[in-house]
A and B are shown apart, each in its own frame.
Chain A
Amino acid sequence: MKTTRVTARLAGLAVGLALGVSALAVTRASAADTPQKGGDLIMLRAEQLRTLLPSQPTDNASIWPIEEVFNTLLVPKQDGSGVAPSLATSWEQSKDGLDWTFHLRHGVKFTNGQEMTSKDVKFSIEETSKPSSPFAFINAAITKVTTPDAYTVVIHTAKPFAPLPADMAIFANSIVPYDYAGMTPEAFSKKPIGTGPFMLKSWTPGVEATFERNPNYWDKGKPYLDSITFKVVADSNTRANEVQGGQAQIDEFPAFSSITALQNSGTAKIGTYASSRVDFLSINTQKKPFDNVDVRRAIASAVDKNTLVKVVLFGHGKPAGAYMSPSSWSHDPSITGYPYDLKAAKAFLAKSPVPDGFKATITVASGNSDQQTMAQIIQASLAKLGIKITIQTLDPSAAYDAKQNGNYDMGFSYDTTDIVDPDEIIRFTGSYDGGSHGLYSFYKNKEIDSWIAKAATLNDQDARQKIYFKVEKAWNEAQPLVPLFYTPELYAYASNVHDFHPFVTGNYNLADVWMSK
């Protein structure tokens, strides 16, 4: 999920004066390919780290440091095609499909010296399953966790549940020591004990947090870096400046509009990485006239996605068709959405109850220059249909609230997945009960809901894929939201940083990263 929490310009102005970058695209340093040990990496981000308790956060600013301190049983493969071993070395599903058995890695130690065993795994999963955990839904299928021996964990589900391994690779199911090693959750969240490559050294709330190398990390030889520091720099111009000035190594999420600028100078690189992110024009289908499918189709046909990609992403993305990201096997490439065609748009509108147009607002988050640009482009093209759009700016929190409560006409949202299995996101955006009322569209379709529920119980990926294609097709017909584009992930980083490559799921494994002198 990683909600549409958007950085305000106050908190993150657009991007910077004079940046520097050589080549674009998925550049990875080819020079000096042998990783070197040492180096202190500073990573700049817009948001602050809130908690290091794995069962609690919903924000990336907390999630990603948690992934450096803790391990999960499994990890997503970098390309998102499946999962790979981590704390569990192997796993299997029982014949009836109800039990999953995980075999744990031997000799893994927490940073307090205690060995990691099945007792810790059971405790960790149960913590995240508590209703107070915002990620409890991810474990909702689990009925029981048993521990036949110290190195074996069995997870029981009521119905066969194919996405389970993927769910064991999410940060929320990170393995913490049993009973938080005797600490209260509150205390543990500030002095975490994990098995991960780094451990917390110091933390100034709202300013920065430094993590140093775990000398006893079970993956011998790693990590390479001596330390990583996550520093909060709200203004994106300032972040870009700092990377160019050599004061920091990585800038999380530079603005797309800064890419051109970054390319022109030489001190930093830009990396664009495949991600699961899809951007949408959200439409509140509860409101008139948006409850009418032809009105939504008219809007979809009047949105020039190619121009949006060109102007907003500066060409670094693809116009979207199906609502599932192409990074997932559930994505149906044959769905191309509604092509930009004003004649067709007018025809759709003519069939609707409002053939001559109407008045509506687009809500954007203040300070989000991308949203404001998109709103102005869409405003201009909808005007040609007689649809008069007023742009309403709300501060990010109020804008979020308005979408949550269905108190808006149109707005912008995006989704990204936390797990490699499509189950999470196909519900999140496609189903009313998936967590965000269908990404704030409030669109209800019982058929789609039942298909999604059924697919999760199947083990055969081809069979699931067929159902998902059907879901995407029906959704495309109804067009409760307009998928705008598939968005790559963007980082700016110093040219001496190597092997930095975020996963499709957005997380990055800093244990692999090294710095040349």
Chain B
Amino acid sequence: MLRFLIRRLLLLIPVVVGVATLTFMLMHMTPGDPARTYLGDRASPQALAALRHQWGLDQPLWRQYLAFMGGLATGNLGQSMFFHDSIVSLLAIRLPPTLLLMAIATLFSILISVPLAVWMALSRGGAVDTAVRSFNSVAQGTPLFFTGAVLIAVFSLKLHWFPVAGYGKTFGEHVVSLILPSIAVALVIIPFLIRGLRGALIDALNSEFVNFAKAKGLSRRAIWTHYALRNAAIPGISILGIQVGYLAGGSLVIENVFAIPGMGTFLMKGILNRDFPVVQASALIFALLVIFVYLLTDIAYGLFDPRVRVK
């Protein structure tokens, strides 16, 4: 297991370098001058030049790239041009809301999907099965921003159950504020998860092992807990991993709708302002999040599937 982990971690290096390089290239290719964006119309040429110098934008591009990669290697992500603060301290503000959002959304997805999938697998072709499957198809096609807008209109403005937007001040408030956005996000994950789980459960229940167990007189409960659910956990985890990975990027959309001060809004503002260090750092963080979730997925395989338990 340890060797496996080390190998996976080493494989991260080319990905990180690749993502960092790609972001650097993309940002420097976009038209728009950060100094001009910052200083506005009236700025004198001297003021513009001074600011470009301060930000290191007067250096040749390859030198800027080397400085950026060098900083990265030593863990120095630099200073935000627009926030006048170090990237690391800004990340400390922005990362927790996004992580909490992802965590709650994942929790909702599991809590809703697992019981539904079991129910569906038990009543294949029944009313519940058909209803949930239709709902899945609808949910899958609904744009995230629209779900968010509808949830706000109904649960915040009409029913006043939840805050309209924002993140609150205490941990309790954070959680309450994130319930609606998490549901919106979960509604993207759930269709995939339910389908995967349902299929795996049906596969498992139809397998020879289960027939044998039944013949042997094992209790329904034992069959479910020891075999069917355990077996379905593997595809479930993979799907969850892939979806949560995608959603790390999708937080851009939902954080905007719900005004959550997380990585998504941070990144968007960075792109609009041409705040290069902010974009580079947050793109990297998103990439690391995705990789990290995949890594967790791989480890979970080993935990749940005895066949891939590593020597």
Residue ranges of A at the interface with B (Cβ–Cβ < 8 Å): 1-3, 5, 8, 10-11, 13, 17-18, 48, 50-51, 58-59, 131-137, 186, 189-190, 204-207, 231-235, 237-239, 241-242, 244-245, 247, 394-398, 400-402, 404, 428, 435-436
Contact = CB atoms under 8 A, between A and B. Distances in A.
7 closest pairs, A vs B, by CB?
Answer: A58-B40, A397-B32, A245-B164, A205-B83, A207-B261, A233-B259, A3-B40
13 contacts: A132-B50, A134-B44, A204-B93, A204-B261, A205-B85, A207-B93, A232-B261, A235-B257, A241-B165, A245-B163, A395-B272, A401-B33, A435-B42
B209 to A, nearest CB: 52
B47 A400 contact: no
A1 B265 contact: no
Given A238-B164, A242-B259, A131 B269 contact: no
Contact of B272 (A8, A132, A247): A8
A134 B160 CA distance: 46
Contacts, number: 147
Given A18-B153, A435-B42, 6 more contacts: A3-B40, A10-B256, A10-B268, A134-B39, A235-B257, A241-B165
Contacts of B47: 131-134
B240 to A, nearest CB: 28
Interface string B169-208: 0000000000000000000000000000000000000000
Interface of B: 30-33, 36-44, 46-47, 50, 80, 82-85, 90, 93-94, 149, 152-153, 156-158, 160, 163-166, 256-259, 261, 265-266, 268-269, 272-274
A238 B165 contact: yes
Nearest to B50: A132
A244 B166 CA distance: 14
B35 to A, nearest CB: 11
Nearest to A440: B41
A50 B32 contact: no
A235 B256 contact: yes
Residue from B83, B84, B164, B269 with most neighbouring chain A CB atoms (10 Å): B164
A493 to B, nearest CB: 16
A243 to B, nearest CB: 9
Contacts of B36: 400-401, 404
A97 to B, nearest CB: 26
Contacts of A400: 32, 36-37
A50 B42 contact: no
A48 B269 contact: yes
Given A205-B85, A247-B165, A241 B42 contact: no
A292 B40 CA distance: 29
A378 B94 CA distance: 42
Contacts of B84: 50-51, 186, 189-190, 205
B268 A234 contact: yes
B165 A233 contact: yes
Contacts of B31: 394, 398, 401-402
A13 B158 CA distance: 21
B43 A234 contact: no
Contacts of B82: 48, 50
Contact of A242 (B42, B44, B166): B166
Contacts of A135: 42
Residue from B33, B40, B50, B266 with most neighbouring chain A CB atoms (10 Å): B40
A473 to B, nearest CB: 25
Contacts of A241: 152, 156-157, 164-165
Contacts of B93: 204-207
A82 B80 CA distance: 40
Nearest to B167: A207
A131 B44 contact: yes
Given A10-B256, A189-B84, A242-B259, A17 B152 contact: yes
B259 A238 contact: yes
A235 B148 CA distance: 13
Given A189-B84, A241-B156, A397 B37 contact: yes
A206 B156 CA distance: 25
B88 to A, nearest CB: 13
Contacts of A2: 40
A404 B33 CA distance: 10
A233 B42 CA distance: 27
